[in-house]
Structures are given as structure tokens and as C-alpha cells.
């Protein structure tokens, strides 16, 4: 799951980046509205955290342009402003939710999980495709009698494969879900995580579709 944070406050930005990376998200951080806006034009994200008071381009303008481009990415507004007008305007412009600063990181993460679930069309905290069960809260996976807690990156990979059951994801698509701008990607890292998951859960847990990519076991 790739998240874009658009936030100029260094402390808030850094704590969000750290918390979300630890949670298995791949994170990009844009420190002003203009950079955020251009990132949204060039990259694909699963979720956006948007501050409203931003240098160069106001957050509401970033949001407005995003929705004008018909980009439906789930978006959570982070605002220090206690002005109700801003929040209402943000929601009217197409934000999915908002959080008023200061906020607890646990709450940000919980709201993110809700938005991602809603976007994927299910209301429960568990993804289940009939063969694999993935708990988005505990990062626990179950497959053919084996149950274990995944590392952040293993979880990110499994989540990507479980998000749309039956969908084959190319290595490039998986890399995009797993890594942000600042991460160095060596040429075979996706395979490394797939190898680790197969070793723990059995070879059949992730299938390789020749020339196309990978798909999660469905039986």
C-alpha cells in the first residue's frame, strides 16, 4: 500500500512517515502543495494524507485539482485549523475524512485502515479469499492450517495480492506497492519476499503466472 503524505510540518511529517513505514506502508512525503500536486499526477497511490495549510499551493487547491482530474484515491485531510468552514469545504471538494491536529498516530492508522477497506469494498478488518485470511489489524495470515504474524513488507505484499482477489499483479505493480521514493530497490526484492512467504506458508500460497506476475492462492 503506497501512501502520499503532503505536509510541511517536519515533526508531523517525520512521525507519520515512521509510523506508516513500520505499519508496512510504502510512504512518499511531499513537503509543499506543488510537489504533492505533481506527485499525484505522476504516481499511483492507495491513499493520500493532505495538510491544508501548505506552502506554494494550498491543500484545498491540491484536492480540487485531484478530483477535477477524476482521481478517486482515498484522501484524509490533516488540519490544524479549527475552522469548520475548511473541513466542510474539504469534504465537499471530495475528501473522504479529516483529522484535526494534534492527533494520535493510532487514530491516523485506524482511519487509514477504514478508508482502504471502504475503497476495496469491504467493511471488515479481515480479507478472505476462501483460501487465505489476512487480518489487517494484527497482520496475521492464515493459510492451510498455518497461522503467523507477517513482517511489515511481507504484509504489504500479501495485502496487495489479497486486495482484489484473483487479480494477477506484475512485479512492477508489486514494487510500486512496496516501495516509496527513498527506498532503494534491488532487482529481486519482490521475489525475496515471495520466497519468504512461500517458505512459511507453503509453495502454493502465491502462484506465479508466467509472463504476467503473481496471484494469491484461492483454494
Q: Is 163 in the site for Ca ion (CB under 5 A)?
A: no
Helix (H) or strand (E) holding 92: helix 84-92
Would you tell me how many other CB atoms lie within 10 Å of the CB of residue 147?
A: 12
Among 2-10, 101-109, 123-131, 186-194, the segment contacting Ca ion (CB under 5 A): 2-10
Q: Among residues 70, 69, 52, which one has the least CA distance to residue 61?
A: 52
Sheet holding 75-79, edge to edge: 26-30, 2-6, 47-51, 75-79, 97-100
Radius of gyration of the chain (CA): 18
Of 30 and 194, CB closest to Ca ion: 30
What is the chain's length? 219
Residues 16-45: x/- map of binding to Ca ion (CB under 5 A)? ------------------------------
Strand order from edge to edge, sheet including 146-149: 126-128, 132-135, 140-143, 146-149
Q: Which stretch binds Ca ion (CB under 5 A): 8-16, 81-89, 113-121, 151-159?
A: 8-16
Nearer to Ca ion, 8 or 176 (CB): 8
Cell numbers that stand for 74 in this block: 482515498
Closest residue (Cβ) to Ca ion? 53
Q: What angle do CA 184, 44, 19 make, to 5 degrees?
A: 60
Q: Is 51 in the site for Ca ion (CB under 5 A)?
A: yes
Q: CB 58 → Ca ion: shortest distance, Å? A: 10
Of 63 and 201, nearer to Ca ion (C-beta) is 63
Window of 5-13, 24-32, 35-43, 170-178 that interacts with Ca ion by CB under 5 A: 5-13
Sole window of 49-57, 62-70, 106-114, 164-172 interacting with Ca ion (rule: CB under 5 A): 49-57
- Which of 51, 46, 91 shows the shortest CA–CA distance to 67? 91
Nearest CB to Ca ion, comparing residues 69 and 101? 101
Residue closer to Ca ion (CB basis): 51 or 86? 51
- Closer of 51 and 176 to Ca ion (Cβ): 51
The C-alpha atoms of residue 96 and residue 98 are separated, in whole angstroms, by 7
Q: Is 8 an interacting residue with respect to Ca ion (CB under 5 A)?
A: yes
Binding status of residue 53 toward Ca ion by CB under 5 A: yes
Task: Name the residues that contact Ca ion, by CB under 5 A.
Answer: 8, 51, 53
Amino acid at each position: 500500500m503506497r501512501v502520499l503524505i503532503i505536509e510541511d510540518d517536519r515533526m508531523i511529517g517525520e512521525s507519520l512517515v515512521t509510523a506508516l513505514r513500520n505499519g508496512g506502508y510504502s510512504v512518499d512525503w511531499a513537503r509543499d502543495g506543488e510537489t504533492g500536486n505533481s506527485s499525484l499526477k505522476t504516481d499511483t497511490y492507495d491513499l493520500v494524507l493532505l495538510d491544508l495549510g501548505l506552502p506554494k499551493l494550498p491543500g484545498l487547491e491540491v484536492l480540487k485539482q485531484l478530483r477535477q482530474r477524476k482521481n478517486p484515491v482515498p484522501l484524509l485531510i490533516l488540519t490544524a485549523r479549527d475552522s469548520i468552514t475548511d473541513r466542510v469545504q474539504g469534504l465537499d471538494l471530495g475528501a473522504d475524512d479529516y483529522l484535526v491536529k494534534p492527533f494520535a498516530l493510532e487514530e491516523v492508522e485506524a482511519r487509514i485502515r477504514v478508508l482502504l477497506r471502504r475503497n476495496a469494498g469491504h467493511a471488515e478488518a479481515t480479507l478472505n479469499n476462501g483460501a487465505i485470511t489476512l487480518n489487517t489489524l494484527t497482520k496475521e495470515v492464515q493459510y492451510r492450517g498455518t497461522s503467523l504474524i507477517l513482517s511489515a513488507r511481507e504484509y504489504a505484499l500479501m495485502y496487495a495480492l489479497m486486495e482484489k482477489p484473483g487479480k494477477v499483479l506484475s512485479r512492477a505493480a508489486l514494487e510500486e506497492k512496496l516501495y516509496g521514493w527513498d527506498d532503494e530497490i534491488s532487482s529481486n526484492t519482490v521475489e525475496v519476499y515471495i520466497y519468504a512467504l512461500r517458505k512459511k506458508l507453503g509453495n502454493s500460497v502465491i502462484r506465479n503466472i508466467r509472463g504476467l506476475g503473481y496471484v494469491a492462492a484461492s483454494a
